């Protein structure tokens, strides 16, 4: 109940969002009609469109983003037509096309007419209102995306929409009373009609130009976000499960991995408790390196299930061990199954996953879990995550995060010994690898995973803050503190990335770690993007990463994680800068090691 109350109050606060003012003219333009026959259907249409877009955004893929964008264009056109019929009725009278007839109906529907007209207008307005998502709605949608559609998620979305409609209904009732008083005193509503049409067209223009999320967001000063964050803090609804890249064990101790050969320690088998049956793998959208696998088909085998995603540095560093275990113990009855569950939208594309599996030289079966079906079946919470299944189809052990490779291999050996008479090879593997798959440094790391997209961005220091939804000219500040970052140049920032509009754009980050990685993508048409890296204003030389040369020069040719810095002398605090020489670069997240 508490969560529903918070969702409702978050919806009420939506009217203070910077992208709501351009929508208000569409609401006030109907203020001269009775609230019951026109106001309520309009609000219902807004809620319907909003809930539909939000639900699709929660459970859909990249196609939903494109569909919603076309929906916004259609809504802008519809409401522009509505504004013109209010402002220029004589012009509308001379036109007789069906679309204009619809516009006239929107403008001139009789007081007691069908509720379809205001409902349709509300749907169009709702398509423009849908992107107004604050922290509370962000938590609801994140939980829906990760945990799947459910009655609970639907109730939360309904509560949020009801809250937003409550505040808009108050605005509509206020507008109706104001209109009635002005009309009674002036004996005419024609000039009010024209003023409403001009306001609607101004709102359409503001939305089409991106001013609803650009200029207005700067003028608002982030008030809505601050209010919602305060609400979350005071009332404390539980956050939905959000996957993480894990580098800590359950006791909170930092995990490490070794590059040197690992001697076989003395090992005494310990009882491994039964943690439940092997969940179904039926939710995979595709399989790589194997036909579809099932728990029943794997009965009699020891199975290691690895949840990973190919842009996660912690996942990449486990791959040398997974490949080594799969090869070493395949004849003894071990099957390694990778479950690729995406973090970013581009990781949902099967072609990208197939390319990553090939480039990373993964030979074991990989289930493409783009819909989070297998993730939910296991109740998983992090990348990477290991689940150890015995030959009877029971989960006997699990581990979150990289590291503890010796213990993991000993669990494999123990489960294989339990399974049958096959001789299990002794000793522990000691794989060596380069680039993003090499072991992390041993020095303390003061910089953590940092997202560039507006939805989860922290530590951003460019003047004016992030401007979501349109291209904006950013400037880098004079100086950055540790773990602050900035954009410079013309960038368009959306929920999970920043896209460079013109050559010469830069990203700067003051960090302290041995390694710096950045998840990048080329231009939308696949054209490679050249870049140049500087450390403290100079070429990296010996501190260059696997994906750059000593002069810091490299190329973004695929959507993946790039290692840009690997310091040779510890993990000093440094200023990292990357300049893109071509337009279209997509930047998603920094990770360190």
Give me the CATH number covering residue 334.
3.40.30.10
CA angle 536, 452, 464 (to 5 degrees): 85
Higher pLDDT, 551 or 30: 551
Q: Which of 126-140, 362-376, 433-447 has the highest mean pLDDT?
A: 362-376
Give yes or no: residues 209 and 163 share one domain. Answer: yes
CA angle 431, 433, 439 (to 5 degrees): 85
pLDDT band at 188 (very low <50, low <70, confident <90, very high): very low
Maximum Cα interatomic distance, the chain, rounded to a whole number of Å: 98
In the predicted structure, residue 215 carries a pLDDT above the cut 80: no
State residue 432's pLDDT score. Answer: 81
Give yes or no: residues 387 and 492 share one domain. Answer: no
pLDDT band at 397 (very low <50, low <70, confident <90, very high): very high
Domain-embedded: residue 265:
no
496: tokens are: 């999970």
Torsion of CA 239, 241, 243, 248, to 10 degrees: 80
Domain-embedded: residue 244:
no
- The sign one gets for the Cα dihedral 20, 25, 27, 28 is positive
State residue 222's pLDDT score. Answer: 40
Q: What is the mean pLDDT of the chain?
A: 76
State residue 570's pLDDT score. Answer: 82
3-state class of 544 per DSSP?
Answer: strand
Domain-embedded: residue 248:
no
State residue 24's pLDDT score. Answer: 59
Give yes or no: residues 488 and 433 share one domain. Answer: no
Higher pLDDT, 579 or 570: 579
Q: Omega of the bond prior to 223 within 30 degrees of 0, cis?
A: no
Give yes or no: residues 455 and 427 share one domain. Answer: no
Share of the chain above pLDDT 70, in %: 60
* Domain final residue, candidates 405, 437, 469: 437
* Domain final residue, candidates 217, 235, 253: 235
The answer to whether the beta carbons of residues 488 and 474 sit under 8 Å apart is yes
Please state the φ and ψ torsions of residue 449, each to the nearest 5 degrees.
Answer: -55, 130
State residue 44's pLDDT score. Answer: 77
Report, as an integer, the average pLDDT of 522-540.
Answer: 96
Give yes or no: residues 24 and 120 share one domain. Answer: yes
Give yes or no: residues 461 and 405 share one domain. Answer: no
State residue 588's pLDDT score. Answer: 97
Domain-embedded: residue 420:
yes
DSSP 243: -
Domain-embedded: residue 145:
yes
Higher pLDDT, 215 or 571: 571
State residue 349's pLDDT score. Answer: 92
93: tokens are: 């009278």
In the predicted structure, residue 67 carries a pLDDT above the cut 70: no
Give Cα 480 distance to the centre of its chain: 26
Give yes or no: residues 411 and 325 share one domain. Answer: yes
Q: Which of 214-228, 342-356, 410-424 has the highest mean pLDDT?
A: 342-356
How far apart (Å, rounded) are the C-alpha atoms in residues 114 and 109? 8
pLDDT single digits (tens) 257-301:
333 334 444 455 567 888 999 999 988 999 999 999 999 999 999
Domain-embedded: residue 471:
yes
Provide the residue range defining the domain that includes 290: 286-437
Give yes or no: residues 370 and 290 share one domain. Answer: yes
Q: What b/e readout covers 413-437, taking b as 16+ CB neighbours within 10 angstroms?
A: bbbbeebeeeebeeebbebebeebb
Q: Where is average pLDDT lowest: 132-141, 156-165, 509-518?
A: 132-141
Q: At what angle do helices 40-59 and 151-186 cross, to 10 degrees?
A: 150
Higher pLDDT, 77 or 437: 437
In the predicted structure, residue 23 carries a pLDDT above the cut 60: no
Give yes or no: residues 184 and 315 share one domain. Answer: no
The answer to whether the beta carbons of residues 129 and 164 sit under 8 Å apart is yes
The answer to whether the beta carbons of residues 48 and 124 sit under 8 Å apart is no
Going by C-alpha positions, the residue among 442, 398, 431 that lies closest to residue 316 is 431
Higher pLDDT, 246 or 443: 443
In the predicted structure, residue 86 carries a pLDDT above the cut 80: no
Q: Where is average pLDDT lowest: 39-43, 176-180, 322-326, 558-562?
A: 176-180
Give yes or no: residues 480 and 586 share one domain. Answer: yes
Q: Where is average pLDDT lowest: 36-45, 74-83, 220-229?
A: 220-229
In the predicted structure, residue 179 carries a pLDDT above the cut 70: no
State residue 435's pLDDT score. Answer: 84
Domain-embedded: residue 57:
yes
* Domain final residue, candidates 175, 200, 235: 235
Residues facing residue 473 across a β-bridge: 490
Give yes or no: residues 411 and 462 share one domain. Answer: no
3-state class of 340 per DSSP?
Answer: strand
Share of the chain above pLDDT 90, in %: 46
pLDDT single digits (tens) 451-503:
999 989 999 999 999 998 889 999 999 999 999 999 999 999 999 999 999 99
Domain-embedded: residue 250:
no
The CATH number of residue 559's host domain is 2.60.120.260
3-state class of 236 per DSSP?
Answer: coil
Report, as an integer, the average pLDDT of 380-396.
Answer: 94
Q: Is 195 exposed, middle or buried (CB count within 10 Å of its CB: 0-12, 13-18, 19+)?
A: middle
On the CB side of 531, CA atoms within 13 Å amount to 30
How far apart (Å, rounded) are the C-alpha atoms in residues 592 and 565? 9
In the predicted structure, residue 197 carries a pLDDT above the cut 90: no
Give yes or no: residues 474 and 553 share one domain. Answer: yes
In the predicted structure, residue 211 carries a pLDDT above the cut 60: no
506-to-117, 382, 451, 476, 536 alpha-carbon distances in Å: 48, 31, 16, 9, 14
Report, as an integer, the average pLDDT of 216-224.
Answer: 39
Torsion of CA 305, 307, 313, 317, to 10 degrees: 0
335: tokens are: 């099957």
Number of structural domains found in the chain: 3
């Amino acid at each position: 109940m508490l969560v529903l109350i918070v969702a409702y109050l978050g919806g009420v606060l939506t009217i203070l969002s910077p992208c709501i003012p351009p929508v208000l003219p569409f609401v006030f333009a109907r203020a001269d009609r009775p609230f019951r026959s026109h106001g309520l259907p309009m609000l219902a249409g807004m809620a319907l469109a909003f809930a539909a877009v939000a639900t699709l955004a929660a459970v859909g893929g990249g196609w939903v983003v494109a569909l919603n964008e076309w929906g916004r264009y259609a809504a802008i056109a519809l409401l522009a037509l509505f504004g013109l019929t209010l402002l220029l009725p004589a012009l509308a009278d001379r036109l007789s096309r069906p679309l204009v007839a619809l516009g006239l109906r929107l403008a001139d529907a009789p007081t007691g007419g069908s509720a379809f007209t205001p409902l349709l207008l509300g749907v169009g307005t709702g398509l423009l209102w849908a992107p107004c998502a604050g922290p509370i709605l962000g938590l609801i949608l994140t939980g829906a995306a990760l945990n799947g559609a459910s009655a609970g998620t639907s109730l939360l979305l309904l509560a949020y929409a009801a809250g937003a409609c409550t505040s808009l209904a108050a605005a509509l009732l206020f507008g109706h009373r104001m209109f009635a008083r002005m009309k009674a005193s002036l004996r005419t509503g024609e000039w009010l009609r024209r003023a409403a049409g001009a306001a609607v067209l101004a709102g359409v223009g503001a939305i089409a130009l991106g001013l609803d999320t650009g200029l207005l967001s700067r003028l608002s000063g982030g008030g809505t976000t601050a209010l919602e964050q305060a609400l979350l803090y005071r009332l404390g609804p539980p956050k939905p499960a959000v996957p993480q890249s894990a580098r800590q064990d359950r006791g909170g101790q930092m995990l490490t991995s070794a590059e040197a050969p690992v001697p076989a320690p003395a090992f005494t088998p310990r009882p491994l408790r039964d943690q439940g049956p092997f969940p179904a793998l039926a939710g995979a959208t595709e399989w790589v390196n194997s036909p579809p696998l099932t728990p029943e088909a794997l009965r009699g085998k020891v199975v290691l299930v690895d949840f990973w995603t190919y842009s996660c540095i912690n996942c990449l560093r486990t791959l040398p061990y997974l490949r080594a275990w799969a090869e070493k113990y395949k004849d003894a009855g071990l099957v390694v199954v990778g479950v690729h569950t995406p973090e970013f939208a581009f990781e949902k594309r099967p072609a990208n996953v197939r390319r990553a599996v090939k480039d990373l030289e993964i030979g074991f079966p990989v289930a493409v879990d783009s819909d989070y079906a297998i993730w939910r079946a296991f109740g998983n919470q992090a990348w990477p995550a290991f689940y150890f299944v015995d030959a009877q189809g029971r989960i006997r052990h699990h581990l979150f995060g990289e590291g503890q490779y010796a213990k993991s291999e000993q669990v494999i050996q123990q489960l294989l010994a339990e399974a049958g008479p096959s001789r299990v090879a002794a000793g522990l593997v000691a794989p060596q690898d380069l680039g993003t798959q090499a072991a992390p440094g041993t020095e303390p790391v003061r910089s953590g995973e940092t997202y560039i997209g507006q939805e989860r961005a922290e530590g951003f220091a460019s003047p004016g803050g992030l401007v979501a939804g349109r291209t904006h000219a950013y400037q880098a500040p004079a100086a950055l503190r540790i773990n602050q970052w900035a954009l410079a140049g013309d960038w368009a920032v959306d929920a999970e990335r920043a896209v460079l509009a013109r050559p010469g754009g830069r990203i700067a980050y003051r960090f302290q770690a041995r390694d710096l990685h950045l998840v990048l993508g080329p231009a939308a048409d696949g054209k490679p993007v050249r870049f140049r890296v500087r450390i403290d204003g100079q070429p990296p030389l010996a501190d260059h990463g696997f994906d750059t040369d000593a002069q810091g020069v490299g190329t973004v040719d695929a959507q993946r994680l790039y290692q840009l810095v690997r310091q040779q002398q510890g993990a000093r605090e440094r200023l990292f800068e990357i300049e893109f020489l071509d337009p279209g670069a997509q930047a998603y997240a920094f990770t360190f090691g």
